[in-house]
Chain A
Amino acid sequence: MATEEMEQLVRREYKDGFVTDIESDTLPPGLDEDTIAFISKKKGEPEWMLEWRLDAYHQWLKMKEPSWAHLDYPPIDYQSISYFSAPKRPEDGPQSLDEVDPKLLETYEKLGIPLHERAALAGVAVDAVFDSVSVTTTFKKELAEAGVIFCSISEAIRDYPELIKQYLGTVVPVADNYFAALNSAVFTDGSFVFVPEGVTCPMELSTYFRINAANTGQFERTLIVCESRAQVSYLEGCTAPMRDENQLHAAVVELVALDDAYIKYSTVQNWYPGDEDGKGGIYNFVTKRGDCRGARSRISWTQVETGSAITWKYPSCVLRGKDSIGEFYSVAVTNGRQQADTGTKMIHIGEGTRSYIVAKGISAGKSDQSYRGLVKIGPRAKGARNFTQCDSLLIGDKCGAHTFPYQEIGNSTATIEHEATTSKIGEDQLFYCRSRGITEEDAVSMIVNGFCKDVFQELPMEFAVEAEALLNVTLEGAVG
């Protein structure tokens, strides 16, 4: 079909673009030791935590922003960002949904997240993050009975300092990379999950993130620990309102799996990608890493990435434990002027470790997308195995897809398989579907969803449905 026609169809408005009018208790822009002390005090943190933050800050000052990614964006002025923003009533936060600001609930409604219904119907405990403070947490009691801790990271620092000291920063060290160091210095909230030995978390844990106040960088910190034979499935989903200024987001997620533990981490990410010219979108620089510390442990990342102006994200697994398993299933969709450099790292250290990578990239409009994956097999990782499948789908003729696979093999007993394909969304497939009477939009949605099926089936059921819907919205009319 004609390219112009296609371009017209590619354009769409961000459906979640609105701003909730809640007064924020926001710090003026700027970052120095005082900023960090303010955040730490605001959070009621102990002295050791402040020191930890300051250490990260000092290391960050010595570091350089990475430039190796296949991304193009103007320099970020870290002094023009406000590092703390909280809804008005942080001191006497709501104890139940009844106490939650109705405007906030309305916001969730607009996003199609009827919190109470959702929680009740789906049996999902929701720790909703609005700006930087946890507003409400449900199902705490049931979780407590199972011995599972699910709370905000700030609460955890106050209430479970020993666990935090034991695990925080052990997967992603404070100076791991530029954005992780920044996050370590200024993180304001996020989730903490602890599943004790032998416990299977009785429900899927879910957090909806939302960036709301203008010019506020959001720095989430999430830590999930599964002791031996423990299991948890964690869902993360986000969306953001329309904004003119670029918003920086630099989250850190750390996962620790001990012997025979299983952590499944699923993300549906739908942040504001910017307008047609790419103006106003979220910059998303995320460090996500799982540590398969114990034997036979397993960590599985599943992500559906449709939002953000810039995405820099490589959920990784360090396969330390003997026979541990790392998995990465990803669908990344870019449209308009979005840029994404995403992929995974599988670091095989232990004997008999296995990793499995399925990455699906869909580029439309004038977007640009790269898959960057590292498979590293250490000298002691005897019999390690990796399978990588990496498929790109192009919609239209103005987008780009790139694949950067890196392999470092340190012993001769390893088995590595890599499959990669790049295809343009088949004119033939489209014609076939349309010639059966199916409209062009439905045909594209059908073909794209088919393309992503291997990944969608890894998502928990209700998330998979959302992901499909999201994909359809993202690619509404993006036809080639």
Chain B
Amino acid sequence: MLQVTDLHVTVEDKEILKGLTLTINAGEVHAIMGPNGAGKSTLSAVIAGKDGYEVTQGSITFEGQDVLEMEIEERAQAGLLLGFQYPVEIPGVKNIYLLKSALNAQRKARGLDDMPAPEFMKLVKEKLGFMKMDASFLQRAVNEGFSGGEKKRNEILQMLVLQPKLAMLDEIDSGLDIDAMKVVADGVNSLRAQERAILLVTHYQRLLDYIVPDKVHVLVDGRIVKTGDAELAKQLEANGYEGIEESAA
């Protein structure tokens, strides 16, 4: 589904990713772990198309399409969706409006008509209940005055409504207490499906107790230095990244 090959990325003339290769197939859950500054968030940002990241070498393809040639919104329309570590506030724009616009923009790109309002409301309310969010969330401005936990839940809510093919979640666990983490994890787990892949970027193993990945990659200094299963994450928790770096070196 997603193929990243020998990806080199620089940010402000500094090379962050130094030849990263990664293959994700439909139905898989991958976790990328690594110390701060290793380039974890850079990877998901580049895939989503954020400005300021220069790809100097390598390629990214999604279902055979050259991702780097696509506009940001085209990537989302193709089914690539990024859940943000720090979602921005958009004053004056209602959450429900953003959701509806996003869903219908994606439908339009796929040649579908707008979802009828009653159907849309039913869908949103169902997902809202799943994320244990109050209906008042929909009427509030996007992320404005949301607590850290509320913002993260809101990101997952969008995923549940938009149903991407590849959901990328950047440090979705940061700043969450244990209850909020469970809700977020339940949301993510509900996304697991044969036709869908999930890419988790996280610093801590904790999240992976709740969302058990099929594959764990350790990213150190711009490269994946080790790949394993969920057990690898537990080893990391016990031994830290330094042990991995040494063994990789």
Contact = CB atoms under 8 A, between A and B. Distances in A.
B50 A431 contact: yes
A69 interface: no
B87 A439 contact: no
Q: Which size class do B's interface residues fall under? A: 20 to 34
A67 interface: no
Interface in B20-56: 48-51
Contacts of A93: none
Given A427-B51, A442-B105, A434 B72 contact: yes
A447 interface: yes
A433 B90 contact: yes
B93 A435 contact: no
A428 B92 contact: no
A316 B105 CA distance: 43
Interface string B58-78: 000000000000011101110
A38 interface: no
Contact of A432 (B84, B92, B97, B105): B84
Nearest to A428: B88
Interface string B124-152: 00000000000000000100000000000
Nearest to A440: B73
A449 interface: yes
B160 interface: no
Interface string A412-444: 000000000000001111011111111110100
Interface residues of A, number: 24
A446 B99 CA distance: 12
Contacts of B84: 432
Contacts of A437: 73, 76-77, 102, 105-106, 109, 162
Interface stretch (A80-88, A101-109, A157-165, A450-458): A450-458
| Interface SS of chain A | helix
A469 to B, nearest CB: 16
Nearest to A437: B76
A438 B88 contact: no
Contacts of B82: 435
Contacts of A452: 92
Which among B76, B81, B93 has the greatest number of chain A C-beta atoms within 10 A? B93
Interface in A357-412: none
A121 interface: no
A442 B73 CA distance: 11
B75 A435 contact: yes
Contact of B88 (A426, A442, A453): A426
Contact of B49 (A428, A435, A436, A453): A435
9 nearest A-B pairs in the assembled complex, by CB-CB distance: A450-B92, A453-B92, A437-B76, A450-B93, A436-B102, A434-B72, A437-B106, A428-B88, A437-B105
B90 A438 contact: no
26 contacts: A426-B88, A426-B90, A427-B51, A429-B88, A431-B48, A431-B49, A431-B50, A433-B90, A433-B102, A434-B49, A435-B49, A435-B72, A435-B75, A435-B82, A436-B76, A436-B101, A436-B158, A437-B76, A437-B109, A442-B101, A446-B97, A446-B98, A447-B90, A447-B93, A450-B90, A453-B91
Contacts of B101: 433, 436, 438, 442, 446
